[in-house]
């Protein structure tokens, strides 16, 4: 057991050390490290996947840019045309911090005003979602293949299959069934998909090298889509009793007419529930990524202060980074669990019959 624990610690330290070039890459060209550029360069979406920098050589994966301009029509080209955001191509360029759309592709109209074309580009976050989803589908198919080839009554699953069964049984028996109620099988596929999608992307986001390290669930657009799916599941399959409690709740009549105070509050709650799901997941994952990046940046910030300060700060940074990565492993599960739990509770409330 002790040897196994040491192995996990060594692997975690290896991940951190392999990730150090990522932290320092943003400041190598200028000869100094800019913590703001490191942190926001990681958590924001990009048109290329920057892997690392060796000297003056940037190692990046260019991604396809797909644009529609109202003046020049459709455009398809590689993000390498921008040369890491320094050049323009066919009138398009990546806007700077002073723009109304920082970090986004813009162009100038006939009056010289910045405008945004319709942007359907495959960005870093989009590519990461594709890769992680394919890996997750492969994992689920691998598990289902084991069940098709083995008799569950005679042989218990082990290893990865056993771990997946533990998660599935826990979510179904402890979350979906008691929260949704007798109609839980109808919503189990969506809730299980949401749990594993969030959990797997959270774990991949903690790996500091390709194909991990992308801030998927810390991107509010991704959490908004997840919350929207829950919103649709709640209201599309809501029962008559659910809608009655919204528009004519069981409260004293003077709270419903002539001023519909309680119906307005209940109707407003339809939108606050998914909004809370969106912000909760986004904020927690984003904060975890930022803390880890800040701790990693301390190593490079204190280099100019001399060995006396840099040595202890490096040791403290590595130790705290290990602690934060272990904590983020727990947070990765908790946030997926909480999102699934609250979604199941809200769906269960919409399934309740009026008595």
Per-residue pLDDT at 33 = 62
Other C-beta atoms closer than 10 Å to the C-beta of 207 total 15
Kindly indicate the confidence band of residue 10, based on its pLDDT and cuts at 50, 70 and 90: low
Write the pLDDT tens digit of every residue in 223-255.
999 999 999 999 999 888 888 888 887 777 777
The larger pLDDT score, comparing residue 298 to residue 29, is at 298
Q: Quote the strand ranges of 55-113, DSSP E.
A: 57-62, 64-69, 73-78, 93-94, 105-108
Per-residue pLDDT at 24 = 44
* CA–CA gap between residue 348 and residue 187 (Å, rounded): 10
Tell me: pLDDT of 29 over 70: no
Tell me: pLDDT of 353 over 50: yes
Per-residue pLDDT at 178 = 93
Q: Which strand (E) or helix (H) includes residue 340?
A: helix 307-351
* CA–CA gap between residue 318 and residue 13 (Å, rounded): 8
Rounded average pLDDT over 260-276 = 88
Other C-beta atoms closer than 10 Å to the C-beta of 269 total 11
Which of 195, 211, 202, 159 shows the shortest CA–CA distance to 325?
A: 202
Per-residue pLDDT at 244 = 86
> Mean pLDDT lowest for which of 15-24, 25-34, 137-146, 249-258?
15-24
Rounded average pLDDT over 185-208 = 93
The larger pLDDT score, comparing residue 245 to residue 94, is at 94
pTM of the model: 0.84
| 212 φ, ψ (degrees, to nearest 5) | -95, -175
Kindly indicate the confidence band of residue 27, based on its pLDDT and cuts at 50, 70 and 90: very low
Per-residue pLDDT at 240 = 87
Per-residue pLDDT at 249 = 79
Q: Which strand (E) or helix (H) includes residue 196?
A: helix 184-205
What is the percentage of the chain residues whose pLDDT exceeds 90? Answer: 41
Rounded average pLDDT over 274-301 = 85
> Mean pLDDT lowest for which of 226-235, 306-315, 331-340?
306-315
Write the pLDDT tens digit of every residue in 132-188.
999 999 999 999 999 888 887 778 888 889 999 999 999 999 999 999 988 899 999
228 Cβ partners below 8 Å, 6+ apart? Answer: 274
The larger pLDDT score, comparing residue 5 to residue 335, is at 335
Per-residue pLDDT at 328 = 87
Per-residue pLDDT at 238 = 87
* CA–CA gap between residue 262 and residue 245 (Å, rounded): 10
- Name the average pLDDT for the chain: 83
Strand order through the sheet with 118-119: 73-78, 64-69, 118-119
Residue 352 DSSP SS3 = coil
Rounded average pLDDT over 20-25 = 44
The larger pLDDT score, comparing residue 271 to residue 354, is at 271
Kindly indicate the confidence band of residue 121, based on its pLDDT and cuts at 50, 70 and 90: very high
């Amino acid at each position: 057991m002790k040897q196994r624990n040491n192995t996990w610690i060594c692997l975690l330290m290896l991940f951190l050390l392999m990730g150090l070039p990522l932290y320092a890459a943003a400041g190598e060209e200028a000869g100094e490290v800019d913590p703001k550029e490191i942190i926001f360069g990681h958590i924001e979406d990009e048109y290329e996947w920057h892997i690392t920098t060796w000297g003056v050589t940037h190692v990046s994966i260019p991604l396809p840019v797909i644009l529609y301009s109202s003046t020049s029509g459709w455009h398809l080209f590689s993000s390498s045309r921008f040369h890491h955001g320094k050049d323009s191509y066919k009138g398009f360029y990546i806007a700077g911090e002073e723009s109304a759309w920082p970090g986004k592709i813009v162009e100038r109209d006939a009056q010289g005003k910045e405008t945004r074309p319709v942007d359907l580009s495959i960005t870093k976050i989009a590519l990461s979602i594709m890769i992680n989803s394919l890996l997750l589908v492969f994992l689920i198919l691998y598990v289902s293949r084991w069940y098709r080839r083995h008799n569950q009554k005679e042989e218990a699953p082990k290893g990865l299959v056993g771990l997946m069964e533990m998660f599935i049984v826990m979510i179904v028996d402890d979350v979906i069934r008691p929260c949704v109620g007798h109609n839980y099988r109808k919503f189990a596929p969506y809730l299980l998909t949401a749990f594993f999608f969030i959990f797997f992307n959270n774990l991949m986001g903690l790996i500091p090298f390709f194909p991990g390290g992308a801030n998927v669930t810390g991107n509010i657009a991704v959490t908004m889509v997840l919350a929207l799916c829950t919103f649709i599941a709640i209201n599309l399959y809501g029962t008559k009793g659910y809608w009655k409690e919204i528009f004519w709740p069981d409260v004293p009549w003077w709270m419903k007419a002539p001023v519909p105070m309680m119906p307005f509050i209940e109707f407003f709650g339809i939108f606050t529930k998914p909004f809370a799901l969106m912000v909760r997941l986004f904020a927690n994952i984003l904060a975890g990524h930022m803390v880890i990046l800040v701790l990693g940046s301390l190593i490079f910030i204190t280099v100019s202060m001399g060995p006396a300060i840099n040595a202890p700060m490096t040791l403290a940074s590595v130790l705290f980074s290990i602690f934060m990565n272990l904590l983020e492993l727990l947070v990765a599960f908790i946030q997926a669990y909480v999102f699934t739990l609250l979604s199941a509770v809200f769906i269960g409330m919409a399934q309740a019959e009026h008595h």
